[in-house]
Amino acid sequence: DFLNALNEVKPAFGADDSELEENLTYGIIYFSESIKAILNDGMLYVENVRVQERNRHMSVLLYGPSASGKTALAAHIAMKSGYPFIKLITPASLVGFRDDMAKKDYIHKVFTDAYKSPLSMLILDNLERMIEWNPVGARLSNNILQTLVTLLQTPPPKGHRLLILATTSQRSIMEQLDVTSAFDREIPVPAVRDLNELGVVLSEARMFASSAHVEEALKTVGEYASSDTVGVGIKTILTTAETAKLSSDPVNWFGEQLAGQIARYNPTM
């Protein structure tokens, strides 16, 4: 079964492989059932584009809160796919271009390059920044947006196959912009939701010296956050724990800081 490919370590080959790995600083931690389901669905679409003649073109949107691991999951799927052509486009890929005309020309070129390979994958990371979305005055680059949406929906030339993975942490904005309707499928990516899941993350990542320290950290977070609901992205948890190691009192510093981050991302909690 092709889904087993998920657990194999065989890396994708190609120019962008190390770039993909950079998005997996802390690897993938299976802190919830949904992580496995996301990867299963992703690989089904990978297979579908590879073999189905009438579905040789497909686009999938990964959406979820800030820091929840969207980019890492897309990179992981890409590395496992074995596709000969894989290209990651991020807002940073576009920042050096003069204006949105030059940016859209670059995006167009990347798609044109992808069309040259018989089997290609494009990752469009962080759609809301790519279109230069700014909630004040609902500013954005309609040039980039229209280019992206049109290219998303255009099939590659005959005999060519293309899978597009995109990520966003602003799904509702993407819906208002009629961008979600341009995708064939959508996959939600969850935050770390409760102290149990947080415990799995901290243990698996070996962030503290002992499991007693982990317990203590969970207790501290629970006190500060005064709730069982965590609702914070896995990237925030991992980087905060990493900094905490330098503090004189890592466990407490971690708890206090993470509670601050939880409050920042969940203002009404």
Ligand X SMILES: Nc1ncnc2c1ncn2[C@@H]1O[C@H](COP(=O)(O)OP(=O)(O)OP(=O)(O)O)[C@@H](O)[C@H]1O
Question: Which residues contact a second copy by CB under 8 A?
Answer: 1, 22, 25-26, 44-45, 47-48, 51-52, 54-55, 66, 90-92, 94-96, 98-99, 101, 105, 108, 129, 132-140, 142-143, 145-147, 149-151, 153-155, 158, 173, 176-178, 181, 184, 186, 238-239, 242-243, 245-248, 264
How big is the site for ligand X, counted in residues (CB under 6 A)? 23
Stretch that binds ligand X, among 22-30, 116-124, 213-221, 246-254 (CB under 6 A): 22-30
Among Mg ion, a second copy, ligand X, none, the one that 27 touches (CB under a kind-dependent 5 to 8 A) is ligand X
User: In this structure, which amino acid lies at residue 165?
Assistant: L
Question: Binders of ligand X among 118-157, rule CB under 6 A?
Answer: 126
> Is residue 192 helix, strand or coil?
strand
The kind and range of the H/E element at 199 are: helix 195-204
**Which residue bears the tokens 């896995």?**
234
Residue in 184, 187, 110 with CA at minimum distance from that of residue 144: 110
Decide: 140 and 131 in contact? Cβ < 8 Å. Answer: yes
CB pairs under 8 A, 24+ apart, for 130-137? 130/89, 130/90, 130/91, 130/94, 131/177, 132/100, 133/170, 133/173, 135/173
Among 68, 71, 117, 170, which residue interacts with Mg ion (rule: CB under 5 A)? 71
Question: Binding pattern to ligand X, positions 188-227, x when CB under 6 A?
Answer: ----------------------------------------
Residues that bind Mg ion (CB under 5 A): 71
